[in-house]
A and B are shown apart, each in its own frame.
Chain A
Amino acid sequence: MICFFLVLFVLISSVQYALLYRDRKTDNSSYQVIDFYNEKKNSLDVVFIGSSCCFSFYSPLFAYNAYGIKTANFSSSGMGMLAFKYAVEEVKKTQADAPIVITLSDQDEMEYKSLHYLADYMPMSSTKLNLILSYFSKEGESILNSAEYFFPLMRFHERWSEITVDDLIVNDGTKGATRHEYYLDYITDINSDYYLSEEKLDYPESWEKHISELLDYCDENNYEVMFMVPPKSFKEDSFKMMNSLVSMIENRGYYVLDLRDKTDDIGLNLTYDYYDKYHTNIHGSVKFTDYVIKIVADRYGIDPKQPEDKDFSDAFAKYYEYVGSKLIEDELNMVNRDYQLERPQLLSVSRNDKEVCLKWAEVDGADGYDIYRKEENKWTKIADVSESEFIDTHYFNGDNIYTVFSYRSENGIKKYGNYDYEGINIKVED
């Protein structure tokens, strides 16, 4: 009888594992957590914890590519303040010496699916048990409803008819780097949703409870932890409550990197660097990562020019295969970026006989412009000009999408500014 139940348990666990949601192409809700467990023990310089605000803003692979610093996100969609303490506890099991950066947003409790995004991929442990019990100890919840978190099969069994080979790939070697379509392709103007204020409001009891528990835990264990508030849209009240929360955390002796009013310093443009009002797109993420990692590395004394880590190098190369077509290669060369250099406004593209003429508005401070054209869905550099006009005599039949990357020269090195991510198109039909 015992053997029977053992065999049954093993089979159920295997089936359950196979059916867990793992579609990396359309969703990123859990990959940062899944791939965190693939990191070697005590191999990371810093770990970032938070919700999608964490993994859409900060990219460990971009940070590594530019500075050689090894970091990871232990983050999942909708991770609320309730989960932070348990996330720190979990991270410290394998990365005992790594400082932690916790991304704050105005999410205190979690929806049931957000708990799935995190708990389903955590190995069974007292930490996971306490996280789930903590979630179901709040008012209005019944502990009996927690069953599906211990047996995710209850939630995911219907996926049997959708399962593909991709679902069975446990580790695709990209360290959970973000690559869902909104992050890669969407641009949303969030100017009208971006609120700033210096006022303070009392924050909810739940915030106090969860953050105090977290800080107490960090104090007890003497962990190196700092907090970060990303430059995203907050509701008016939430913004003011966050001001109060930041003060509370600082009064407890913890450093808070509050970036809400730092978009200019970061180089983030509210018109084109976000995919929605809460998350940067890939281009915004490059800028944000560059800004934050330098501050974090400086704070914790991490050498930015470390020896190459093959694991991270391979992961970046593989990740670049997926996302490279969305970026200009020089865009990731963070050391040589000047985000204050505006992107050239593409004015017109027209066709005269056997040439295509591209014109743009001059950019203050720019010494030149690299011209790119989409070839086989990738930006390919076709010219380097100093004027605000380019004539292309090697255009294609069909779509010709151009963009212009501004730069300034400093000691013979190009410092790249910005470019129009979507470009301008002219369709040629000969």
Chain B
Amino acid sequence: MGFLSFKFILFIAVIFFMFFVVPKKYQWVVLLLFSYVYYYLCSHKLIIILFADTLFVFLAGKCLSYFNSRIKETDNKETKEKLLKKRKAVLCLSIAVTLGLLIILKYGNFIIENINYAVNGNITFLNLVLPIGLSFYTLQAISYLVDVSKGKCKCEENLFHLMLFMSYFPQIIQGPIPRYKKLADQLFEEHDYDYTRVAHGIQLMLWGIAKKAIIADRIGIPVRYFFSNFVKFHGFVSLLGAICYGFQIYADFSGGIDTIKGISEVFGIYLDDNFRQPFFSKSVEEFWRRWHITLGAWMKDYVFYPLSLSKTFNKLSKKARKRFGDKVGKKLAPCLAMFIVYFLVGFWHGAEWKYVVYGIWNGLFIMSNIFFESEYKAVLSILKINPEAKWFNLFRMIRTFLICSVGRIISRSDNLLSALYLIRSIFRGFFDTSYLSAELLSELGLNLKNWILLIIMITIVMIVDYIKEKGIDIRKAIDNKNLLIRWSLYIALVLSILVFGLYGGEYDASAFIYGKF
């Protein structure tokens, strides 16, 4: 049941109504019921896996909490150490089980394929279905268990509360990835009906739908053609194809997140931002602090810091300092941890080597930034470039945009060979357009009016992002305008979605790019 279907709109209308009609203390029950109904409608029998996973996490959390209280109570150092070890063992086991489920269901066949290739084996592939949202709620579960273990959040005593946290329908399919402590407070508290909040939520929802239905789904048509027929193109046209994909995935993903956040806001639940004007990033590192923010934050808190602050990495750092000197030694551990993070980021995106390479592509730029930070500063100084100059920042944004666009070629292409061919083709006859016939252009699938609409809409999105980059809250700014302007904007938004949106008929509006995770 996609966000752009009549069924979903009806679903949302019913849940909005029920949420504000029931006694406030039962609002979370409404959310839980509808979350499970939503999940069932999307995944049918696979709902059992969600429930089983939640039950396991609940029991594991209770076990960890038990150890925490015992550790707190005991003064005996030896007993404490034993309890700490047991708690660690329970934590590792519960993470292993939770993560193991994801690995088997999502990566099982990938692992088998590579083993077969490596040893010329003939292991049969598993006939498994990947439950929707598994990648997301697995990370949620792990963060919950780690936070309980560390005492950062309390253990949830009510199984149904935890079920809601794990299944909360607006975000189960494509995030953002919440932390238990922050979300739980909101999920279970009572929410009044507030006109402004509800109106803002609906506005955000409509904005998200507009991005998805008008830009993402539309630009997806020529992008699909381009990547299926990349051999027909070269030069800057190939680069344009990659850039179009960048806009597609941004509009699709951020549109979905805005829709999700808008729905949540109506309930009075504020989810974390997952995008913060990523195309204004001046470096790849900054890009990943602005793109899929909650994934980056999760990786930072549960992979990067644990690794880089671990004893193993400390020892490695010391050895590196002895062998390569302070400068290298100091940076080696964080670089290695960063490499692992981006290896995992890539892998998380999909069970194919191209995603791993995609992750490493981004990781390499970030690592080089860490490693050669002082060298970059020296070059700027020699060239007398003011790093805060507007033109230089613009250059950095364009550079970062192009680097990320090339990286996306890797993730979007069918395989690594295709990606390599495509990247190389960009540099072949860069300015050559002689091969572009009217027939080839028409095969891209959009007429001139649609291209014009796309350019207008992308420009509007960029302007909105620019305004947000300046720290202006657009919805509040619109609230302060007169009635005519406000109504004109709202009506224009609704009519734009209804007229220009790609929905209904043969358009599959539910195919969010990140939905398969």
Contact = CB atoms under 8 A, between A and B. Distances in A.
A160 B487 contact: no
Given A144-B10, A158-B505, A161-B450, A15 B491 contact: no
A129 interface: no
A158 B502 contact: yes
Interface stretch (B47-55, B105-113, B317-325, B493-501): B493-501
Contact of A12 (B6, B7, B498, B502): B498
Interface residues of A, number: 17
A196 interface: no
A8 B504 contact: no
B353 interface: no
Given A4-B487, A7-B491, A157 B499 contact: yes
A157 B501 contact: yes
A201 interface: no
B504 A155 contact: yes
A4 B491 CA distance: 9
B500 A157 contact: yes
Nearest to B199: A1
Interface in A70-114: none
Contacts of B450: 161
Interface string B466-496: 0000000000000000000001001100110
Interface in B433-484: 447, 449-450, 453
B447 A161 contact: yes
B7 A144 contact: yes
B371 interface: no
Most buried by A among B450, B487, B500, B504: B504
A154 interface: yes
Contacts of A8: 491, 494
A157 B503 CA distance: 9
Contact of B498 (A4, A15, A147): A15
Nearest to B448: A161
A366 interface: no
Contact of B504 (A4, A154, A161): A154
Contact of A154 (B491, B495, B503): B503
A348 B501 CA distance: 59
A153 interface: yes
Interface in A6-26: 7-8, 11-12, 15, 19
B498 A153 contact: yes
A411 B502 CA distance: 67
Contacts of B503: 154, 157
Given A7-B491, A161-B450, A19 B499 contact: yes
Interface in A141-157: 144, 147-148, 153-155, 157
Contacts of B453: 161
A339 B513 CA distance: 65
A82 B487 CA distance: 43
A161 B449 contact: yes
Contacts of B494: 8, 12
A345 to B, nearest CB: 44
A147 B495 CA distance: 17
Given A4-B487, A4-B490, A144-B7, A15 B504 contact: no
Interface in A182-220: none
B492 to A, nearest CB: 10
Contacts of B7: 144
Contacts of B490: 4
A158 B447 CA distance: 12
B369 to A, nearest CB: 44
A115 to B, nearest CB: 14
Contacts, number: 44
B434 to A, nearest CB: 28
A37 B491 CA distance: 31
A90 B500 CA distance: 33
Nearest to A159: B499
Given A157-B500, A158-B502, A15 B6 contact: no
A153 B499 CA distance: 7
A213 B81 CA distance: 83
A32 B501 CA distance: 31
Contacts of B499: 15, 19, 153, 157, 160
B314 to A, nearest CB: 59
Given A8-B494, A148-B504, A161-B447, A154 B6 contact: yes
Q: In terms of DSSP, what is the predominant structure of the interface of chain B?
A: helix
A12 B495 contact: yes
A45 B503 CA distance: 44
A14 to B, nearest CB: 10
Most buried by A among B447, B491, B499, B504: B499
Most buried by A among B447, B490, B494, B505: B505
B215 to A, nearest CB: 15
A155 B505 contact: yes
A149 B387 CA distance: 59
B458 to A, nearest CB: 17
A7 B505 CA distance: 27
A158 B501 CA distance: 8
Contacts of A4: 487, 490
Contacts of B500: 157, 160
Nearest to B453: A161
B60 to A, nearest CB: 40
Contacts of B498: 12, 15, 153, 157
Nearest to A16: B498
A262 to B, nearest CB: 42
B61 to A, nearest CB: 39
A144 B495 CA distance: 22
A7 B486 CA distance: 13
B6 A11 contact: no
Nearest to B5: A144
A11 B504 contact: no
Contacts of A161: 447, 449-450, 453
Nearest to B500: A160
A7 to B, nearest CB: 7
A111 B494 CA distance: 30
Interface in A119-172: 144, 147-148, 153-155, 157-158, 160-161
A224 to B, nearest CB: 41
A8 B495 CA distance: 8
A157 B487 contact: no
Contacts of A7: 487, 491
Nearest to B487: A4
Contacts of A158: 502, 505
Nearest to A1: B195
Nearest to B452: A161
Nearest to B10: A144
A4 B202 CA distance: 14
A15 B495 contact: yes
A154 B490 CA distance: 19
Given A15-B498, A155-B504, A147 B6 contact: yes
Interface string B51-93: 0000000000000000000000000000000000000000000
A312 to B, nearest CB: 38
4 closest pairs, A vs B, by CB? A161-B449, A154-B504, A147-B6, A157-B499
Interface of A: 4, 7-8, 11-12, 15, 19, 144, 147-148, 153-155, 157-158, 160-161
Given A7-B491, A12-B494, A155-B505, 16 more contacts: A8-B494, A11-B495, A15-B499, A144-B6, A144-B7, A144-B10, A147-B6, A148-B6, A148-B504, A153-B499, A157-B498, A157-B500, A157-B503, A161-B447, A161-B449, A161-B453
11 contacts: A8-B491, A8-B494, A11-B491, A15-B495, A15-B499, A144-B6, A147-B6, A153-B499, A157-B503, A157-B504, A158-B502
